[in-house]
């Protein structure tokens, strides 16, 4: 169990037999190496200045978050040819959050697939990402990632109710 509610606002089950490492404000899990697959749990402060000069606005709509986050990845050169294949709002532990599926080419020319969960909290935005090489590794480990995603418990006191979803959170 990864229990860091102050840092991430959530609790989740760690994937079994994956290496875990902390990098700055994020925690990363991998089994076959970061270039091939990883699960990344990170938090971004609201009003963080993005590479394009704008800020991550705290009054953003929920479904707009992934576009800004993925745009930032592209702008920083972590991803090329990015295509969002699905973007939807789902409810996890009775709070709404977004799930985005995408494909991209990594800087070392690997075609990858990814799934990204974004959960807004009062002081920060938590992002859980699973990204893996698409031809083999993605399918191999996606079930384990789904188990991790389904185990998420949200600290509801810290959840940020964004415009348009008032009344949803108990």
Partner 1 sequence: MRSPQLKPWAVLLVCWCMVLPLPLSGSKKREVVIQRSDRAAIDARVHEAVEVAGVLLHEEALSEHLNRIVARLVNVPQGTVPPYRILLINGSETNAFSLSDGTVYISLGIFSMIDNDAQLALLLAHEIAHVRLDHHRRFRYELHERAAGSVLFGGDTPYNLRVAMSGFSRSLEKEADSCALRNCIESGYNVWVAKELISTMYSWLKYKEKGYRSSTATHPRFAERYQASKKMLEEIGVDSTSGMVNKQEYYEVLQPHMAHIVRLLRQSNSVRELYKMALRKLDDDVPQPEWYYLRGSLLEHYAPKDSFPVAVYSLTSAFRNDTSNTRSVRDLGWLYLKNGNCDSARVCLERYLAVAPAATDGAIVRFYLERLGE
Residues that bind partner 1 (CB under 8 A): 51-54, 57, 59-61, 63-64, 67, 70-71, 74-77, 80-82, 87-89, 96, 105, 163-168
Whether the Cβ atoms of residue 27 and residue 148 lie closer than 8 Å to each other: no
Q: Kindly report the CA angle at 40 between 39 and 42, in degrees rounded to 5? A: 160
Q: Which is nearer to partner 1, 13 or 64 (CB)?
A: 64
Q: Which is nearer to partner 1, 12 or 97 (CB)?
A: 97
Phi-psi region of 4 (alpha: psi -120 to 50; beta: other; left: phi over 0): beta
CB of 164 to partner 1, least distance (A): 5
CB of 53 to partner 1, least distance (A): 5
Q: Which is nearer to partner 1, 11 or 101 (CB)?
A: 101
Q: Residues with Cβ < 8 Å from 105, sequence gap 6 or more?
A: 79, 80, 81, 111, 112
d(CA 62, CA 98): 7
Q: Which is nearer to partner 1, 32 or 105 (CB)?
A: 105
Whether the Cβ atoms of residue 39 and residue 27 lie closer than 8 Å to each other: no
Whether the Cβ atoms of residue 146 and residue 156 lie closer than 8 Å to each other: no
CB of 50 to partner 1, least distance (A): 8
């Amino acid at each position: 169990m990864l229990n860091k509610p102050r840092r991430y606002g959530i609790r989740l089950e760690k994937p079994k037999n994956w290496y875990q490492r902390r990098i700055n404000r994020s925690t990363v899990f991998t089994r076959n190496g970061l270039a091939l697959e990883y699960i990344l749990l990170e938090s971004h402060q609201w009003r963080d200045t993005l590479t394009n000069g704008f800020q991550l606005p705290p009054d953003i709509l929920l479904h707009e978050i992934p576009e800004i986050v993925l745009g930032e990845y592209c702008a920083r050169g972590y991803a090329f040819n990015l295509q969002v294949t699905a973007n939807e709002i789902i409810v996890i532990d009775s709070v709404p959050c977004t799930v985005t599926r995408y494909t991209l080419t990594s800087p070392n020319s690997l075609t990858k697939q990814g799934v990204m969960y974004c959960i807004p909290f009062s002081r920060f935005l938590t992002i859980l990402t699973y990204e893996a090489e698409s031809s083999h590794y993605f399918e191999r480990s996606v079930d384990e990632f789904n188990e991790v995603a389904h185990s998420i418990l949200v600290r509801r006191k810290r959840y940020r109710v964004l415009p348009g979803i008032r009344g949803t959170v108990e």
